[in-house]
Structure 1
Amino acid sequence: MTTPQSSPTADQVVAAPTYLADIRFFFRPQDVEHMAAKGIDLGTYDGVKTSALSIYAQTAPPNPQMPPDTAGHWSAERSQTFKNWIVNGYPLGTATPPAPAPPAAQPPARLRKEVTALSDPEFQLLTTAFTGMMARDPSAPDSYFALAGQHGLPRRWCLHHEDRFNPWHRQYLLDFEDALRSVPGCAQVTLPYWDISTALPERLQHPPFDRYVLPADPGAAATPHPVTGFFPYTTQRYPLATIAQNLKDFGVLDDITTSLKQSLWGSFNVSGYQDFSIQAHDGGHGSIGPTMGNQDVSSFDPVFWFFHCNIDRLWLSWQTRVHGTTLTGFRTTLGTDTDWLTTPFNALPPFSRTADQTIETEVSYDRLDLVSPAEGALENLSGSIDAARTFAFRSSDPVSVRVKGIDRLNIPGSFVVSLLADGEPVAKRYFFQPDDPRRCATCVKHGIVNIDFRMTQDQLLDRTLSVRIDVPGHAGIGTAFPLAQAGNPTVNARLLVQEA
């Protein structure tokens, strides 16, 4: 895959360079590591901007002081480009997708395919592996019951709605895949993915993939308080037509498309890939069924693994788009918050691997959702911009509507936030959480959340707007949830702008 140091403009003078398109590629991994030991951050936009004048002075030919090795010395063209970046006001810019990578010389260690692309023998092997795992004693650590129980009940390890969300699930899939491979005769099996832009495949509608009957009570061992209501229990899904309609109503495919266009990783509840990726994930869970829509038991539904395999495929697609498949390259897409990639904040319990160790993955997919350089740069839209920079917005640019400050801890389970215009829903988003979020450590840590909508201007202009929160799992008491009990959230609407 393309590395961050392979920018085609590295040794050409660029009159109007930006950080994301040009400058970040000037620093090798060894440069970043060497200067980090001296307290200088060459791996992020803020770090390079802060030290830009010193960097220019230390690297300028003909007598550069840095990098210390001759092979790393900057050319006059690169130095001039860096100077232009300083003079122009340190523009952040947008990411430019890399050229397509040549075919790998060696077959990948783990190639995951779309589930309908599996040959009959490959699908039979997958069936054997799932059947074998499900037949294991529930107390065995490599049983289906035990591994599914790490996500929700009884272990509740999963990290949702924060930076480690994608890394945690990437490692979770690897551990589950290893357990599948431990079934006799299944050493080469890999998890396939379900591309949710297509209908739920026929193959996943039959045993052992259509449902799972829990062999034990997952709530009995939950700590610090046992949970009732999930035993006996058989996983449930909605009819195919309902799943398709839910995916549309919850804007799942729209959020996926938006996430893949982002230049920056961003953060949940703020902006960037992370925010829209997690929203798409939540909406996907809520679309598929009452089991998948409940964090306590979602991972017991076999479709969970194929759904999350696709989430990981999309993340790798985005990493490839923004030159972020190495740790050095990935860090260049972050802002100031990089702590979650360093000890001790990088932990992914109960796994031994850490968040930073998941950025470079041995997994590959038969298809990534990529764009070519000819299709242009990605976007970096925001609601505000430094006054020192020029900016632009167009009538075609979307409006960001944020329902801000929702106290999720007061809401009993997953919920739906609807944006209404003249009393009719124009957009919905699903928020995924356990029935009792106050007993979830991660939920408590991130108890106040926002929901983001990107709307066209004509959907909103000259219309009366309002917000509604519903809790589908509590129809017996009425699904509408009082906004006053949800923290009295506010609504922010902004026309998005970008650097001109």
Structure 2
Amino acid sequence: MTTPPNTPVPDPVVANPTYLADIRTYFRPEDVAHMAAKGIDLGTYDAVKRNALTIFAHTAPPNADMPPDAAGKWSANRSQTFKNWIVNGFPLGTSTPVTTPGGAAPARLRKNVITLTDAEFALLTTAFNGVMARSTTAPDGYFTLAGQHGLPKAWCLHHEPRFNPWHRVYLREFEDALRSVPGCQDVTLPYWDISTPLPDRLQHPPFDRYVLPADPGAMATPPVPDTFPYTTQRYSVADITANLERFGVLADIATSMTQSLWGASDINGYQKFSIQSHDSGHGSVGPTMGVQELSAFDPVFWFYHCNIDRLWLSWQTRNQATTLAGFRTTLAGGDVSWLTDPDLNPLPPFTATADQTIDTDIGYDQLDLPTHAETVMENLSGSIDAARTFSFRSADPVSVRVKGIDRLNIPGSFIISLLADGEPVAERFFFQPNNPRQCATCVKHGTVNIDFRLTREEVLDRALTVRIDVPGHSEEIGTAFPLAQAGNPTVNARLLVGEA
């Protein structure tokens, strides 16, 4: 039988394959599990690269002994593509983004708060009122739940790999509390898409403010003074919108969504820019949201963080990382112990562990996925292996990193500004407790970096300086914080490089 012309060849040979676009798809979950039992990891770039010759030998037809089942055997074309990847120097590449969601229908569907029907919003209001009416000692009461994030418990994990997983579990616990209010068993927590103004629905009771019924500082260990009485506060809608622009929140979100790698919270990848946008978003919304100890008491916190979880799920979907196996393929060069080590993957005070949060049964009515015309992903960094073929592209931004900030000496959340000829050209808000030395996570990650991505025109031929301001400083001494007391941070400016 003659093959019709222009018929696609199944499993075609790829002349210049990369790990993220091609090779990682060759290993099925059952293959990864089968070989993991034998001490060989097929689930990460570094391990596949390290074992590439052995993998090739065992999978090459016609005498392949792996995978053991006939259905999983590699074709000659696939084997040739894998060989090409080895010969070309194991290029990492970039993801081919998914543009449409797939998979089973979620068990819970969260919606944009502005799209809720009047009946749905009324039920949400009932649920919030019910949770807020519970006693300060009720484990499913608003005061207790908000107190897990800041005062008095301060369980939350920031600026480290478990940040997104911890908050994903936290949102579910709060949502479960809402659903425990009689008649509200089907309520789901909506999100506020911060690319749009703060909705009017969140500017009226019970969503506009919260009056603390007890002193969370007195319940903390050690006690924290001056936290009671307290009513949450927010900026005006116009000021929130202006602050989001000032602190580059939407720009950092956009950068995070184009990352091929999960990365590290203080170095690169999705995690870096996701957390950076999270911090600046907190500082944009209001005085309460900008204080780690009190932010979760502001009802807007839940809608804000629900959107952050939606963005993370959007990134997972784009990168084929909605399963643990798929997610691990985005950890090239990164730490995997927070997913695998029983001493490092807990999410206290919850029973769930970080690895259990990757594959979630919660969905959103709309994910932030690229259109077919916006499918370019990136994996840009300040350095690359000399064995790789690399390029500098004129359209790529200049990376300016304020490096080595000793956050432990800074009393509370702070603003880092990059000034050109004395005027701010970029600013970011860093979210932390008022006394970071009493925060175990802060101490573990005591030195931090802030990244700015700028056009060359914004920085060339201009006098650049750096400034740190602490909004909580007293009026007598001003908000400026001496750089010498912040560890004398340095400035690294560089062109970003990627594989050609």
TM-score range, shorter chain: over 0.9
Q: Which amino acid aligns with 1:467?
A: V
2:318 aligned partner: 321
Q: Which amino acid aligns with 2:317?
A: T
Q: How does 1:3-402 map to 2 (within 5 A)?
A: 11-101=11-101, 107-223=105-221, 225-335=222-332, 336-342=334-340, 343-402=342-401
Equivalenced residue count is 490
2:488 aligned partner: 488
Q: Which amino acid aligns with 2:174?
A: F
1:396 Cα deviation from its structure 2 partner: 1.9
Q: Which amino acid aligns with 1:266?
A: G
CA contact (8 A) 2:101 2:317 kept: no
Distance change in 2, residues 1:295/1:305 (3 Å): same
Segments of 5+ residues of structure 1 without an aligned counterpart are 1-7
1:101 Cα deviation from its structure 2 partner: 3.8
Q: Which amino acid aligns with 1:55?
A: I
Superposition TM-score, scaled by structure 1 size = 0.96
1:344 Cα deviation from its structure 2 partner: 2.2
1:258-305: CA deviation from partner (whole Å, max 9, x where unpaired): 000000000011100000000000000000001000000000000000
CA contact (8 A) 2:404 2:489 kept: yes
1:421 aligned partner: 420
Q: Distance in 1 between matches of 2:231 and 2:111?
A: 28
CA contact (8 A) 1:164 1:355 kept: yes
1:234-263: CA deviation from partner (whole Å, max 9, x where unpaired): 000011111111101100000000000000
Q: Distance in 2 between matches of 1:85 and 1:151?
A: 46
Q: Distance in 2 between matches of 1:330 and 1:409?
A: 32
1:304-332: CA deviation from partner (whole Å, max 9, x where unpaired): 00000000000000000000000000000
1:395 Cα deviation from its structure 2 partner: 2.2
- What value does the CA root-mean-square deviation take over the aligned residues? 1.3
Q: Distance in 2 between matches of 1:66 and 1:269?
A: 39
Q: Which amino acid aligns with 2:202?
A: L
Q: Which amino acid aligns with 1:182?
A: S
Secondary structure of the corresponding residue to residue 220 of structure 1: helix
Distance change in 2, residues 1:116/1:387 (3 Å): same
Segments of 5+ residues of structure 2 without an aligned counterpart are 1-7
1:342-371: CA deviation from partner (whole Å, max 9, x where unpaired): 122110000000000000011100100001
Q: Distance in 1 between matches of 2:394 and 2:360?
A: 41
Q: Distance in 1 between matches of 2:31 and 2:337?
A: 20
1:37 Cα deviation from its structure 2 partner: 2.2
Moved over 4 A (4+): none
CA contact (8 A) 2:99 2:369 kept: no
Q: Distance in 2 between matches of 1:99 and 1:63?
A: 38
Secondary structure of the corresponding residue to residue 316 of structure 2: helix
1:99 Cα deviation from its structure 2 partner: 4.8
1:31 Cα deviation from its structure 2 partner: 1.2
Q: Distance in 1 between matches of 2:474 and 2:280?
A: 19
Q: Which amino acid aligns with 1:34?
A: H
Superposition TM-score, scaled by structure 2 size = 0.96
1:440 aligned partner: 439
1:410 aligned partner: 409
1:157 Cα deviation from its structure 2 partner: 0.3
1:137 Cα deviation from its structure 2 partner: 0.5
Q: Distance in 2 between matches of 1:372 and 1:33?
A: 34
Identity of aligned residues (%): 74
1:41-93: CA deviation from partner (whole Å, max 9, x where unpaired): 11111110000011000000011011112221111111111011011111000
Q: Distance in 1 between matches of 2:73 and 2:343?
A: 35
Distance change in 2, residues 1:396/1:374 (3 Å): closer
CA contact (8 A) 1:410 1:485 kept: yes
Matched, 1:497 2:477: no
CA contact (8 A) 1:395 1:457 kept: no
Q: Distance in 1 between matches of 2:109 and 2:240?
A: 28
CA contact (8 A) 2:99 2:318 kept: no
CA contact (8 A) 1:95 1:322 kept: yes
Q: Which amino acid aligns with 1:427?
A: A
Q: Distance in 1 between matches of 2:256 and 2:250?
A: 10
Q: Distance in 2 between matches of 1:175 and 1:437?
A: 26
1:5 aligned partner: none
1:229 Cα deviation from its structure 2 partner: 1.2
Q: Distance in 1 between matches of 2:202 and 2:101?
A: 32
